[in-house]
Amino acid sequence: MRAKLGQHFLVDEGVLAYEAKCADARSNSVLEIGAGDGRLTARLLSCGAGHVTAVEFDPKLARQLRMRFAAYKRVRVHEGDFLEYDEKARFGRVVGNIPYYITSPILLKLSRMNFDKAVLCMQKEVAARMMAEPGSHEYGRLSVFSQLTYRAETLALVERAAFSPPPKVDSCIVSLVKTGFLLTGCEERAIGAIFSHKKKSVKNAVVDARWDLFGSRDRQSAGQIAQTLKYNGRKVFSLSPSEALGVARQLCAARMQDE
Ligand code: SAH
């Protein structure tokens, strides 16, 4: 078992069946992230999934998957890192008990892929951060990104005992549908930069994040830009996702003028 690859296998048959049912994969083409030994893959097939692309990073598990599903024309095993997976095809569903150490990069990557609905099992605290309200303790960069990009819903709580070996955290099954809005790379980085100072005012956060935002810009000119921003007296954590986007857009425009 390779703990560093987030290998916690779902052993609770009830949860596996429920997750496959939520995925409603019938006649869809499915992308599975981190297929492991194929236990969820098998459930998806028995629920009538039209085609499953099973992505798995661990060569040993990928070999196991190829053997297990050798007789199935409907299964394609892709051995490699999902974050490097370059696929232009459209998927009806994206499903997976995802490796938790790369949840945010997976959510970012999925925002740039073409799919109708994702059903993912993720760490409970991360699901809470995705759905957190402005002003709450969990609210941050991930909430802003997720709420602009996805309509997310928690479908079920999954306790750590459902996995072997059990992880140190509980999990949630979450469904995601894209809103159709896509942040630019600059907007995404600008939101990240100001939310790393989320307890400060927008003005002070911009001054503190000036290196990430503007490269070598000095304190004074960062302060001048900060003065021109909407909501500059507000605390960063109080900005709604669309207000945060407004600030990010102004910051990206300021940076372009600078270049
Ligand atoms: N689907 C299985 C396993 C889930 S554990 C189940 O439901 O029980 C998470 C899986 O993701 C592991 O098999 C792990 O090897 C795989 N994994 C870890 N990092 C990955 C990456 N970057 N890309 C693809 N798969 C990865």
Q: What average pLDDT does the segment 7-14 reach?
A: 96
Task: Report the distance separating Cα 164 and Cα 1, nearest Å.
Answer: 10
Beta strands in 140-202, from DSSP E residues, in sequence order: 150-158, 163-164, 171-178
pLDDT of res. 257: 64
Place of tokens 């894209």: 178
Residue 150's Cβ-side half-sphere holds a number of Cα atoms within 13 Å equal to 28
The minimum-distance atom of ligand 1 relative to the CA of 2 is: 15
Answer whether 91's CB lies under 8 Å from 115's CB.
Answer: yes
Structural domains in the chain, CATH included, are 3-178 (3.40.50.150), 185-258 (1.10.8.100)
Q: How many CA atoms lie within 13 Å of 41's alpha carbon, on the beta-carbon side?
A: 28
Mean pLDDT, the chain, rounded, equals 94
Lowest mean pLDDT, pick from 1-15, 78-92, 136-150: 1-15
User: What's the rounded mean pLDDT across residues 157-173?
Assistant: 96
Which atom of ligand 1 lies at the shortest distance from residue 7's CA?
5
**180 CA to middle of ligand 1, Å?**
27
| Residue whose entry in the numeric block shows the structure tokens 């990073």 | 57
Q: List pLDDT tens digits, range 92-124.
A: 999 999 999 999 999 999 999 999 999 999 999
- Decide: pTM greater than 0.85: yes
How many angstroms is it from 93 CA to the middle of ligand 1?
17
H or E element at residue 93 = strand 90-97
- Cα–Cα distance between 98 and 5 in angstroms, integer? 10
Q: Closest ligand 1 atom, CA of 98?
A: 9
**3-state DSSP percent of the chain in helix, strand and coil, to 5:** 45, 25, 30
Q: How far apart are CA 12 and CA 216, in angstroms?
A: 52
Model confidence over 37-64: pLDDT tens digits?
999 999 999 999 999 999 999 999 999 9
Give the model's confidence band at 215: pLDDT under 50 very low, under 70 low, under 90 confident, else very high: confident
Strands 171-178 and 75-79: unpaired
Confidence of residue 27 (pLDDT cuts 50, 70, 90): confident
99 Cα–ligand 1 center, Å? 5
Give 242's Cβ-side CA count (13 Å radius): 1
Query: In this model, does residue 125 exceed pLDDT 70?
Result: yes
Q: What is the DSSP string of 37-85?
A: TSHHHHHHHHTTBSEEEEEE--HHHHHHHHHHTTT-TTEEEEES-GGG-
What is the mean predicted confidence (pLDDT) over 144-173?
97
Query: Among 22, 52, 56, which is best to mutate for testing ligand 1, by the most ligand atoms less than 8 A from CB?
Result: 56
Q: Which atom of ligand 1 is nearest to the CA of 35?
A: 1
